[in-house]
Structure formats: C-alpha cells, structure tokens
Amino acid sequence: MTLKPMWRKLFACFPPHVPERRVLLFTATLEQRLTRVEEGGWLVRLGVTPAAQHLEVFATNTVTTVADDNGATTESYAVADSLKQRYLFIPNMVKLAYLVASIRAAGTEQSTIVFTNSCMRCEVVRLTLQLLGFPVCSLNSVISQKHRVDNLATFKLGIARILVATDIASRGLDIPAVGLVLHYDLPKQVSTYLHRVGRTARAGREGLSVAFVTEYDVNLVRRLERKMDCTMTLWKAKGVNEKEVLKLLDEVSAAKVQAKIQVEDQFGRRVNTLKVHAAEKRARQREEQQQQQQQETTARVCRVASKEDNTSKALCCTPCRTKTPLSCSRKKKREKSLKKRRRADA
C-alpha cells in the first residue's frame, strides 16, 4: 500500500489551523510523493501560508529506501558511511562451522545478529550455538509472542549477546548497540539486505556486515553488488580459516545433529500447522479474488447490456432529425394509414 492515501487521511483529520503549530511526519520508507506535499495544496488547507511553507526531509536511518509514486522501491540505495560490508566465501556443507569460528573471532563482547531465511534453520542455528556454550536467543515467527518479547529484551539488555533471527528482525526494531551482522543465509531482495545491515552502524556508530557466500550464492552476490553499486571485500579475520574450522568440525557437527532432533520434536508440528494455515489462507484469497473478478465481469456485462438497451430505446423513441431510423419510418407509415382509414370510415 502506498503512503499517499494514508497521509491524505491524516491531514484530513487535523483540527483547524492553530498558530505556530508544527507537524512532524515519521516514516521508515521515504516516498518521493511525500517530498511534494505542497503540490496537493494540503499545507494551505492546514492554514500554512505559501510564504511560510517549508518542508525538510531528514534520513536518519542507516538505510534510506526511496519509493516512487506507485509505491515501488527505486534502484537508489544508500548505506551508512561507517558500515563495512564484507563477504566470506565458504563451502555450503561447513557453513555452521564457519559461523562458530566467526563468532569466536569477533568475540562475544559486542552484540551480534545472525540472519537466516527460515524459521527452522533459525532454531537449529540457535540451539547449536546454545549447546556450544554461546549466550544466544532467537527471534522468528514460530515462537510465541511472549517468547519474542522476552528474547528481544534479553538481547537488548546484553544478557544474550547473539540474536539468531529471520527477517522479522530486519526492520522495525531499535537496537542501537549492534556491532556485527552475519548473513548466514543471503537474502534474495536488495531491500531485505539493506534492512538487515541497517541494524548496525546506527547513530554514527561503526558497524560490520559479513555475508556468507557459498558456491550457490555467487550470482546472488553479484546482483546485490550491481544494484547497490558497491563491491564487497573479503573478510580477513584471525581464526576464521580452513585450519581452525577443521578443528571445530566434529564438535559443531555433533551439536547440529542434536539440535536438529530437538527442533523437529519441539517445532515440527507447529511449523506444519502454520504451513497448512498459510496454504488455506492463500486458497481463500484466491477464491475471493476469483469471486471478485466474476462480480466485476458480471457488472461490466450488465452495464454494457443496459447501455445498448438505452441506445436502442433512444433510436426508437427520440425524434429523428437528419436520417430517420427504420423503426420510426414504419411507425409514421402506420399512423398515416390509420388516419386514411378513419377518414374513409367517416
């Protein structure tokens, strides 16, 4: 949904003009139409004289997403200058071992967010790190709302320095002291990537973003770099290399197997239930769309039919001016013949 009808409704609800009143608008997505509020005459309706009209747009977030007039995000992306974007090219089979090595190399003194693309993988990674002794919590749509709030508070307070999350935590959360963002799974959309890296390097602080690139993600990284007009550099951290990862492989693999079993037992039924509900919801939406299309088609046919009926009635009933329609000429002939018969009878 675009923001245009939303801010129009907001402006319509404003009380009459009050002297020296200030109006502040906050939005996470900067739409180009919002910077042209004066064109709609809304400032004049609010009592702001043309001489006093002044609109300033401040992009305070590390990520500025600009949307066009149709609500679609443009290809203009920007990140904070204090953000360092790095990548780590690793085999897909040992990705979790590299994650453990990366967290140990970065240290647990700073807050770290690990992003995944699915809820089950999020819980497997979280439980694996927990079994290995890391202070970690998770945030995804599988866990209950109460647990989400508790986990987020635990992470903000610094009790758990590592947050494993899906894209549910990529926007709308104010966590100012995040020093490291790890993309365990790369997102497919540039906007999602930008919202992820926006969790770090906030309010002028420095931040680091590391993307785990496997043999299946090369084209995806190139597309992200091309759209953002930037180049990620290789992350060179002490302790993150093949030699150190091989030392961790047995320990991490055993913890991963145990984590998978526990997660499937704990969340398997819930995930399947959510999938069934999502499928049913999509089916209902398709049925509603089909019914709406049928209703629109029926209404369109009725309008065309009524229009044709009105046109035919107009041709028969309206007086003819230039060219007499056939129906009207027949009617006149009948009237003349009736008049002749009446005269003859009289």
Cβ atoms of 236 and 102 closer than 8 Å: no
Rounded mean pLDDT, 23-32: 62
pLDDT reported for residue 64: 44
Cβ atoms of 115 and 170 closer than 8 Å: yes
pLDDT reported for residue 174: 77
pLDDT reported for residue 73: 43
DSSP conformational letter for 211: E
pLDDT reported for residue 66: 42
Task: Quote the tokens at residue 306.
Answer: 């009524």
Helix axes 242-317, 95-106, angle to 10 degrees: 110
Q: CA 34, CA 36: separation in Å to the nearest integer?
A: 5
Cβ atoms of 78 and 69 closer than 8 Å: no
Looking up tokens 């997102």 gives 187
259-283 pLDDT, tens digit each: 999 998 888 777 778 788 888 999 9
Rounded mean pLDDT, 216-223: 94
Cβ atoms of 225 and 217 closer than 8 Å: no
Q: CA 173, CA 149: separation in Å to the nearest integer?
A: 11
- Whose CA is closest to 212, among 340, 36, 337, 93? 93
Domains of the chain and CATH, by start:
10-58 (no CATH), 83-267 (3.40.50.300)
Record the pTM.
Answer: 0.66
In this structure, which amino acid lies at residue 191? S
Label residue 138 by pLDDT band (50, 70, 90). Answer: very high
- Whose CA is closest to 252, among 112, 127, 145? 127
